[in-house]
Amino acid sequence: MTGAVSTNAGQLLALYEQMAVIRRTEKAAHDLFLAGLVKGTTHLASGHEAIAVGASAALRDDDYVFATYRGHHHALARGATPEECLAELMSRATGLCKAKGGSMHLTKASHNMLGSYAIVGAHLPMAVGAAWSARLRGTGQIAVAFFGDGATNIGAFHEALNLAAVWKLPVLFICENNLYMEYTPIADVTAVANPAADRAPAYGIPGEIVDGNDVVLVQEAVGRLADRARAGDGPSLLEAQTYRHFGHSRTDPATYRPAEEVERWLKHDPLDLARGRLAELGVPEEAVTEADARATGLVQQAVDAAKQAPAADPREALTDVWADGGAAWRT
């Protein structure tokens, strides 16, 4: 791995701890599902932690983030707590979305994390609109859409890239390429080798590839492209290469992935890479162990609190359709 990026040891340790919290939250989500406490499905982001944490570290607190149904890591990286995320998955009244959204729709709007969307590619135009709005209001904010490799073959991706390029908007499109479009290798269904980055030239915007498992490299790339966008130089596309530790969704054991490929990627784990960098920076082993222990404690507390939280209030089913809080469709 490159060591070209200079990083403050304290900052990197903080990023490591965020990734450790995400890893443990995803593990808890997995275990709670098996225990029958999470229903529906989950699309876990274990393995993708460095993309959310590295990107988030490079953004301003008021920048807009739009994520997908594999979005727990983005909600957490933008300030949602493990407790409110797990409570949402467990259908608790204290859930992030009052148990109306579930795993696929985690949202922390008070931090401008404006949602997780489960129709592939749909949120890319929304990020374009948020960037347009930021420019119209002159706030200096940028918008970021995170999406999977599968989204690069849907129309909304191409419409969004073209409009963002034509209007030269401050938006970043960050592809989390984990090599599989659900169960199918993305290479089998895509006309170009790099599903996101290779499309960028068609829209006249920068298209870069980064090791999405290296939080330092992600932070560097996103920071540079964010500066460019904020300076008025328009959108960019970043393809972050990564790998899922679990299958596509809860019911997928991912047996279609070759064992040697899985092994290779598990050895290229985002947390391991960060630990290596911390050691290179002279951070003592105990400091990392303490960060791990804090993450474990936080997530365990979150699990306990979510288990004890009240179930979703049935009366909430008929609220929040309209801005007045209600659901009346007729007089």
Residue 143 interacts with another protein (CB under 8 A): yes or no: yes
Interface of this chain with another protein, residues 46 to 75, rule: CB under 8 A: 64, 66
Any contact of residue 321 with another protein (CB under 8 A)?
A: yes
Using CB under 8 A, count the residues that bind another protein. Answer: 55
Q: For the CB of residue 31, give the shortest distance to another protein in the complex, in Å.
A: 25
Answer yes or no: are the C-beta atoms of 123 and 145 closer than 8 Å. Answer: yes
38 touches another protein by CB under 8 A = no
DSSP 254-265: -TTS-HHHHHHH
Between 49-58 and 215-230, two packed helices, what is the crossing angle to 10 degrees? 40
On whether the CB atoms of residues 198 and 192 are closer than 8 A, the answer is yes
100 lies in the binding site for another protein (CB under 8 A): yes
Position among 29, 67, 126, 175 found at the interface with another protein (CB under 8 A): 126
By CB under 8 A, the residues from 163 to 222 that bind another protein are: 163, 166-167
Q: Which residue has the tokens 């989204």?
A: 151
* Integer Cα distance of 156 and 176 in angstroms: 17
Q: Give the DSSP letter string of 71-120.
A: -HHHHHHTT--HHHHHHHHTTBTTSTTTTSS-GGG--BGGGTEEEEE-ST
Closest CA to 6 of 185, 219, 184: 219
Residue type, 91: S
Q: For another protein, which is the closer residue by CB, 35 or 202?
A: 202
Beta carbon nearer to another protein, 36 or 138: 138
Q: Are 113 and 74 in contact (CB under 8 A)?
A: yes
Q: Give 50 or 174: the residue with its C-beta nearer to another protein.
A: 174
What minimum distance in Å lies between the beta carbon of 106 and another protein? 9
Is 160 near another protein (CB under 8 A)? yes
Output the smallest distance, CB 63 to another protein, in A.
11
Quick one: which of 9, 14, 159, 209 contacts another protein (CB under 8 A)?
159
Q: Considering only CA atoms, which of 62, 99, 106 is closest in space to residue 82?
A: 106
Binding site residues, another protein, CB under 8 A: 64, 66, 95-101, 105, 107-110, 114-115, 117, 119, 122-134, 136-137, 143, 155-156, 159-160, 162-163, 166-167, 316, 319-325, 327-331
